[in-house]
Amino acid sequence: MDPGQITIATCQFAVSGQVRRNARWIHQGIVRAADAGADVVHFPEAALTGYPGVDLPGFQGFDWDALRSETERICALAADRRIWVILGSAHRLSTTGRPHNCLYLIGPDGRLAGRYDKRFCLKSELEHYTPGHHFEFFVIRGVPCSVLICFDLRFPELYRPLARQGVRCLFQSFYNARQEGPSIHGDIMRQTMQAHAACNAFWVSLSNSSGPYSPYASCLIRPDGKIVSELRRNRPGMILHTIDLRQEFYDPMAGFREMAMAGRLTNGPGDLDDPRSLDTRSL
């Protein structure tokens, strides 16, 4: 495969509060993705730990030894299968009982290539997590990549710095699952990600838990905002899709995006001295 092309395996399964059970699903996803020729396999938010307040009460009394052991096994499997793994988990801190809600970036050598910590947490999440404070950038086969987590999508300010850094593929992990039934999330979450993809010319891999009831399924979004592949809600599965940076898509912002990011919020003359333009109170 040429540089600038990567094959992504976007996975979903019913994330639970049992670390070892989650790990079995993750192992299956890694093996299946590697066998299919994927360069990277992407899992949901909190995929290994489970989501506090839903799958488990919280992190008080949490078995951190089991989490570390299973994470090391996942790293070993990544090395054995020579595949990148983007793993939703929790990163224990030394000064607070509230860990980071994180994505571990595991390289095909099995080593930790980086970690992203969710920057914005819901009020309910602040009872369990400590928000992070940094971006994470990495390159897979010549494709500049980054990661975000769920509620981060509500803050468009996070996406422009990624675009400035030249990110072309974004992996965003979600946990919207085990709900009582349909909710507003089914109408706004993927749609918001489609807008971020189109406004910033990103490919987006969106991975969500499939624990019923889940209001939307995992999907792959093109840089023009179109969903090109998706799974079925409330069922485990995997999307396999090859992205190619040489492909061209509809992008009416091309040539203007950088102008706006630099603070110039018009693509007309900035010094137009026309009285009928300056007078905003007359017909």
The string of pLDDT tens digits covering residues 16-67 is: 999 999 999 999 999 999 999 999 999 999 999 999 999 999 999 999 999 9
pLDDT(176) > 90: yes
Answer yes or no: is pLDDT of 1 > 80.
Answer: no
Where is pLDDT greater, at 256 or 3?
256
* Residue scoring higher pLDDT (272 or 4): 4
H helix count then E strand count, the chain = 6, 12
97: alpha, beta or left? (left if phi > 0; alpha if psi -120 to 50): alpha
The confidence score (pLDDT) of residue 7 equals 98
Is the CATH code 3.40.50.12640 the one for domain 5-251?
Answer: no
Per-residue pLDDT for 135 more than 90? yes
pLDDT attached to residue 126: 97
pLDDT of residue 53: 96
pLDDT of residue 271: 81
Confidence (pLDDT) at 250: 96
pLDDT at 143: 98
Residues 228-271 have pLDDT tens digits of 999 999 999 999 999 999 999 999 999 999 999 999 999 988 78
Query: In the predicted model, is pLDDT for residue 219 greater than 80?
Result: yes
Residue 194's pLDDT band (cuts 50, 70, 90): very high
pLDDT band at 97 (very low <50, low <70, confident <90, very high): confident
User: What band does 96 get if pLDDT is binned at 50, 70 and 90?
Assistant: confident
Please give the share of the chain, as a percent, with pLDDT higher than 70.
Answer: 100
**Cα(145)–Cα(159) distance, rounded to whole angstroms?**
12
Please tell me the predicted confidence (pLDDT) of residue 209.
98
Helices 64-81/19-35 angle, 10° precision? 10
Q: What is the pLDDT of residue 272?
A: 86
| Residue showing tokens 């801190």 | 93
- First and final CA of the chain: distance in angstroms? 60
Neighbours of 138 (CB within 10 A): 19
Determine the pLDDT at residue 58.
96
Predicted pLDDT of residue 156: 97
